Structure formats: C-alpha cells, structure tokens
Amino acid sequence: MSDFRIQTYVLGGVSTNCYLIFNKNTREAVVADPADNAAYVLNKCRELEVTPVAILLTHGHFDHILAVKDICRAFPCTVYAGREEERLLQDPSLNLSGSIGTEQTGIEADVLVKDNDVISLIGFEWKVLETPGHTAGSVCYYVESERVLISGDTLFANSLGRTDLPTGDERAIVQSITEKLLTLPEDTMVYPGHGEVTTIRHEKQYNPVAMYRRR
C-alpha cells in the first residue's frame, strides 16, 4: 500500500481547503494552499510528526496564501506557484488581501512552474497542469501514481471557480477544465480549494462545464 497520505483542513474567513499531504514512511510533508491560521497547520504537523518541505500554491488569492510566511518561518519550505501568477501573488490589489479584514500581503514563490513540469517531492512525482481561468496563473497539481488532483479554485464538486476577479477569464476556465482536467483518468480523486472532494468520473457526468460541452 502507498505511503501517500492527505489531510484536509478548512481554514480562514472563506472556508478554504488546505491540504497537508505527507509520506507515511519518511514523514516529509507538502502543504497545498496554506490558507490561513499557520499555528493550526503547524500544530497538526507536530501531532502527525511530519516536517513540511514544500508549499504548493494553486493560485495567489489571499485565501490560499495567508499562512505561507509563518509556515516558512517554522520550517524551511520551497514555495511553488505558476509562472503566470507572479504578479498576483505579490500585489494585494490583485490577490485581494485586505478585502475581508485580512492584512494586505504579498508573497514571492521560490520556484515558478509551467505546464507539464514534474516536481519530485516527498517521494512522489507532481505534474503541473496550467489551468488559467479563475486567475491567469492558476495551476493544478496531479500525482498520477496516487490518482490525486489538487484542483485549487479551477474545478469544484459540481461547480467551477468564479472568473469575475482580476485576471479571470470564463472561456479559459472552461477550456482548462474540459481539456486538461476532465481528460484525466476517471478514478482520479479531485481535492478542490473549497467544498467537498470529488472524482473526475463524477464531474464528467455532473459538472455544468461538462454538460455544456455535451450540448
């Protein structure tokens, strides 16, 4: 059986899913979208006896990045984000930090990734899928060996990310979902930025984007 483990924490003012993913054998961990409340995430790391080595960002919105700096202060982590997301990560007027009473903030990624990059972390290979639309630099991370997709705010259970915020693009998100995500193996588990876990099989049947495509 695989050593891949994934825990979900719903954090922050807009209930964002933060995923703590770790190797049960090596106890190394990756934090995907550290939304908020670094102290909570760090406590969980201590409880589980895991050490974060990397942070994967699906995009730069404030509700996915607020705990990045504090986690990096506690553990030296490499921060990954899409190459088209650099400006949004840094600019509070684009990442919308400060919008709901949170502090204005900007962060810098250590590594800017692009489509089809494969990152080796905690004993697994993470393929980068560029999925513009929710933001111009949105990416998903796909672990083929585990049939796991971290989909950020691109694909949700029965839904999709909004496109009315800075750098959003409705045509682009539809194309990203239909061409890059719904073409993955049907048994892929989809871990979205908000809401319930789903599968590619379910979304091919019930997602409004898939239905739109069938018409």
Q: What is the closest distance, in whole angstroms, from the C-beta atom of residue 62 to Zn ion in the complex?
A: 9
Question: Which residues 6+ apart lie within 8 Å of 192 measured at CB?
Answer: 17, 151, 152, 153, 155, 156, 157, 198
Q: Which C-beta is closer to Zn ion: that of 23 or that of 167?
A: 167
Q: Which of 109, 108, 110, 129 is nearest to 118 (CA)?
A: 129
Q: Which C-beta is closer to Zn ion: that of 74 or that of 165?
A: 165
Enter the DSSP assignment of 85: G
Are 112 and 105 in contact, with CB atoms under 8 Å apart?
no
* Residue 153 makes contact with Zn ion by CB under 5 A: yes
Closest residue to Zn ion: CB criterion: 61
Q: What track of x and - describes contact with Zn ion for positions 112 through 151 (by CB under 5 A)?
A: ----------------------------------------
Q: Judge residue 201's burial from the number of C-beta atoms within 10 Å of its C-beta, 0-12 exposed, 13-18 middle, 19 or more buried.
A: middle
Q: Which of 97, 33, 93, 29 is nearest to 59 (CA)?
A: 33
Q: What is the closest distance, in whole angstroms, from the C-beta atom of residue 5 to Zn ion in the complex?
A: 25
Q: What track of x and - describes contact with Zn ion for positions 55 through 84 (by CB under 5 A)?
A: ------x-----------------------
Q: What is the closest distance, in whole angstroms, from the C-beta atom of residue 61 to Zn ion in the complex?
A: 3
Q: What is the closest distance, in whole angstroms, from the C-beta atom of residue 95 to Zn ion in the complex?
A: 9
Q: What is the closest distance, in whole angstroms, from the C-beta atom of residue 208 to Zn ion in the complex?
A: 18
Q: Which C-beta is closer to Zn ion: that of 96 or that of 148?
A: 96
Nearest 10 degrees: CA dihedral of 131, 147, 193, 178?
40
Q: Which C-beta is closer to Zn ion: that of 60 or that of 204?
A: 60
Tokens describing residue 119: 């990152």
- Number of residues located near Zn ion, criterion CB under 5 A: 2
Q: What is the closest distance, in whole angstroms, from the C-beta atom of residue 48 to Zn ion in the complex?
A: 27
- CA dist 96 and 120 (Å) reads 31
The residues binding Zn ion (CB under 5 A) are 61, 153
